[in-house]
Amino acid sequence: MSATPSYVPHWIAGKPEIPEGTRTAPVYDPALGVVATWVCLAGNAEIEAAVASAKAAFPAWRALSLARRQAILFRFRELLAARTSELAAIITAEHGKVLSDAAGEVARGLEVVDYACGLAEHLKGEFSQGVSTGVDVHSVREPLGVVAIISPFNFPAMVPMWFFPAAIAAGNAVIVKPSEKDPSASLWMAELWQEAGLPDGVFTVLHGDKVAVDGLLEHPDVRAVSFVGSTPIAEYVYRTASANGKRVQALGGAKNHMLVLPDADLDLAADAAVNAGFGSAGERCMAISVVVAVEPVADELVSRIAQRIAGLKVGDGRRACDMGPLITAQHRDKVSGYIDVALADGATVVVDGRGIEVDGASDGFWLGPTLVDHVPTGSAVYTDEIFGPVLSVVRVASYEEGVALINAGRYGNGTAIFTNDGGAARQFQLDVQVGMIGVNVPIPVPVGSFSFGGWKDSLFGDTRAYGAEGFRFFTQQKVVTTRWLDPSHGGINLGFPQNH
Ligand code: NAD
């Protein structure tokens, strides 16, 4: 779909842009291990052009009736649903996740679009009649203007879709700065928006690295920033955008624990640990990376997880495989380095994913599912976000010890408890210091009508993604107090207005 085969262009003012002499970065096909294309990296001129076209598009978009905006959202929603497989193929080619997983990512993004299609409801204000004699008050929610969305590599379609449906529905003009590792999904969605009838300039794609991010964070015409990525960059984005007077929500990294109580169904728990640990090669912010087994179940649970790993097929996501490659060779090497760290720190490597046989090209960025037991909690394998197919097991003596471990961590994105005891599950919800909790559900990503966000170092800012909080983030409130003239209320009174 893109204008030229060799570069992934920006999308500015409703058309592809490849600036003369642009800096570029390679985009890999991770299953083949080759450079598939090159992405343009924005400099100052492109940042200025992107913001200027968004700024120019904003007044007319904001002024369009809710009904007309809603019709465009519905068209986008229908096109996306009908052409999910096209987008999934783009995601798989650049990210590597298997096609069914890529289609699942699009489906989870569609949920957020569905919710945004109800914009007339979500943007409703409030009205109080007669707050004082002859006085009424109403509130409205208005768009902010130009807003930026900066997204990570692991969900090139879903994460931008956590934000742009509400932002656009509310009347803002959006600039998406996708990950430079898999930039094409955003470009495809830009073309889809145009097909759906969105005016040019309301949806812009600006590719780039730190230069583009800093340009957006510092630009006086960018009013708000939604960021998703690793914790150090999230913290940086939060501080820089705040210092520049912007509204900001910055979602960071994670280390999600799954607590398995002795009464749990161990087959269900083992299935869940494998699905949530190795789906998308562990490159999910809601992946389970630590299984906390409450004794005496650890030996049996580890054995059942290992059995299931033996049945997983790793290979090219375009073939019938369970798990694809990692995003880059560099990331694969970093992740596999943690297996050496595990051995050095005295952990037991139950399944070693290095050197695994794959159904794919020999140069692909492969690392098989890896299971590490008896992981010391002082080891970097336990404390670092690895973001790959390395699942740790930590053994504890009690529920209390397990919860204390989870609460001691720096992240608070997701967690899960596996048990058949309703009372224990209820207590867990009260005790655990984590933003998203699953009860016998390993990846508790909230549906589109709720909001997504973690605690502690997993979210900087006070507003979460999508759902009602998404609409609040992308709007500002006005409150209007009205009294229609009545000659009996005239006269001079310098006192502070009181309601009677
Ligand atoms: P990343 O932090 O490297 O990159 C995220 C974005 O920041 C990209 O657009 C990138 O271009 C930009 N960026 C990178 N370095 C920068 C710098 N020095 N200055 C300014 N901008 C910079 O993250 P990633 O590797 O693309 O994605 C994986 C990370 O994202 C993991 O830590 C994962 O947990 C996290 N993540 C979190 C959530 C969540 O909801 N909390 C969801 C998805 C991913």
Question: What is the C-alpha separation between 123 and 139, in angstroms, rounded?
Answer: 10
**Nearest Cα to 375, choosing from 350, 409, 400?**
350
* pTM (2 d.p.): 0.97
* Ligand 1 atom 9: residue of nearest CA: 179
Residues 6+ apart with CB under 8 A from 199: 14, 57, 60, 61
Ligand 1 centre from 228 Cα, in Å? 6
Read off the pLDDT of each residue in 477-482 and give the average, rounded to a whole number: 97
Q: Please give the backbone phi and psi of residue 138, each rounded to the nearest 5 degrees, phi first.
A: -140, 155
Question: What is the C-alpha separation between 169 and 65, in angstroms, rounded?
Answer: 11
Per residue in 284-335, pLDDT tens?
Answer: 999 999 999 999 999 999 999 999 999 999 999 999 999 999 999 999 999 9
Ligand 1 contact via 159 beta carbon (within 6 Å): yes
- Taking the chain, what is the end-to-end CA distance rounded to the nearest angstrom? 64
Question: What is the C-alpha separation between 101 and 418, in angstroms, rounded?
Answer: 24
Ligand 1 contact via 179 beta carbon (within 6 Å): yes
* Candidate from 39, 47, 94, 228 with most ligand 1 atoms within 8 A of CB, to mutate: 228
* Ligand 1 atom 17: residue of nearest CA: 210
Tokens of 333: 């090497």
Query: Dihedral sign, CA of 323, 329, 330, 335?
Result: positive
Ligand 1 contact via 336 beta carbon (within 6 Å): no
**Residue 385 CA, closest ligand 1 atom number:** 32
Q: What is the per-residue pLDDT for 182?
A: 98
Q: Please give the backbone phi and psi of residue 498, each rounded to the nearest 5 degrees, phi first.
A: -120, 155
Secondary structure of the chain as H, E, C letters:
CCCCCCEECEEECCEEECCCCCEEEEEEECCCCEEEEEEEECCHHHHHHHHHHHHHHHHHHHHCCHHHHHHHHHHHHHHHHHCHHHHHHHHHHHHCCCHHHHHHHHHHHHHHHHHHCCHHHHCCCCEEEEEECCEEEEEEEEECCEEEEECCCCCCCHHHHHHHHHHHHCCCEEEEECCCCCCHHHHHHHHHHHHHCCCCCCEEECCCCHHHHHHHHHCCCEEEEEEECCHHHHHHHHHHHHHCCCEEEEECCCCEEEEECCCCCHHHHHHHHHHHHHHHHHCCCCCEEEEEEECCCHHHHHHHHHHHHHCCCEECCCCCCCECCCCCHHHHHHHHHHHHHHHHCCCEEEECCCCCCCECCCCCCCCCCEEEECCCCCCHHHHCCCCCCEEEEEEECCHHHHHHHHHHCCEECEEEEECCCHHHHHHHHHHCCCCEEEECCCCCCCCCCCCECCEECCEECCCCECHHHHHHHCEEEEEEEEECCCHHHCCCCCCCCCCC
pLDDT exceeds cutoff 90 at 487:
no
Ligand 1 contact via 279 beta carbon (within 6 Å): no
Tokens of 79: 């096109």
Ligand 1 contact via 287 beta carbon (within 6 Å): no
Ligand 1 contact via 209 beta carbon (within 6 Å): yes
Ligand 1 contact via 156 beta carbon (within 6 Å): no
Residues 6+ apart with CB under 8 A from 350: 302, 306, 371, 372, 373
Q: What is the per-residue pLDDT for 497?
A: 82
Per residue in 91-121, pLDDT tens?
Answer: 999 999 999 999 999 999 999 999 999 999 9
Per residue in 374-409, pLDDT tens?
Answer: 999 999 999 999 999 999 999 999 999 999 999 999
Question: What is the C-alpha separation between 143 and 477, in angstroms, rounded?
Answer: 9
Q: What is the per-residue pLDDT for 462?
A: 93
* Candidate from 153, 239, 335, 466 with most ligand 1 atoms within 8 A of CB, to mutate: 153
Q: Higher-confidence residue: 355 or 374? A: 374
Q: Please give the backbone phi and psi of residue 478, each rounded to the nearest 5 degrees, phi first.
A: -120, 145
- Structure-token match 């009904």, residue found: 67
Q: What is the per-residue pLDDT for 4?
A: 44
Ligand 1 contact via 210 beta carbon (within 6 Å): yes
Q: What is the per-residue pLDDT for 491?
A: 81
Ligand 1 contact via 252 beta carbon (within 6 Å): yes
Per residue in 160-170, pLDDT tens?
Answer: 999 999 999 99
**Nearest Cα to 277, choosing from 297, 262, 292?**
292
Q: Higher-confidence residue: 4 or 468? A: 468
Question: What is the C-alpha separation between 224 and 235, in angstroms, rounded?
Answer: 15
Ligand 1 contact via 385 beta carbon (within 6 Å): yes
For residue 489, name the pLDDT band (cuts at 50, 70, 90).
Answer: low
Q: What is the per-residue pLDDT for 85?
A: 98
All structural domains of the chain, each given as residue ranges with its CATH number in brackets, are 7-252+458-479 (3.40.605.10), 256-439 (3.40.309.10)
* Candidate from 95, 230, 239, 385 with most ligand 1 atoms within 8 A of CB, to mutate: 230
Q: What is the per-residue pLDDT for 488?
A: 66
For residue 1, name the pLDDT band (cuts at 50, 70, 90).
Answer: very low
Question: What is the C-alpha separation between 20 and 118, in angstroms, rounded?
Answer: 42
Query: Dihedral sign, CA of 387, 388, 389, 394?
Result: negative
Ligand 1 centre from 237 Cα, in Å? 10
Ligand 1 centre from 250 Cα, in Å? 10
Per residue in 220-278, pLDDT tens?
Answer: 999 999 999 999 999 999 999 999 999 999 999 999 999 999 999 999 999 999 999 99
What is the Cα gyration radius of the chain?
A: 25
* Ligand 1 atom 32: residue of nearest CA: 230
152: burial class by Cβ within 10 Å (0-12, 13-18, 19+)? buried
**Residue 214 CA, closest ligand 1 atom number:** 20
Question: What is the C-alpha separation between 391 and 302, in angstroms, rounded?
Answer: 11
285 is known as an active-site residue = yes
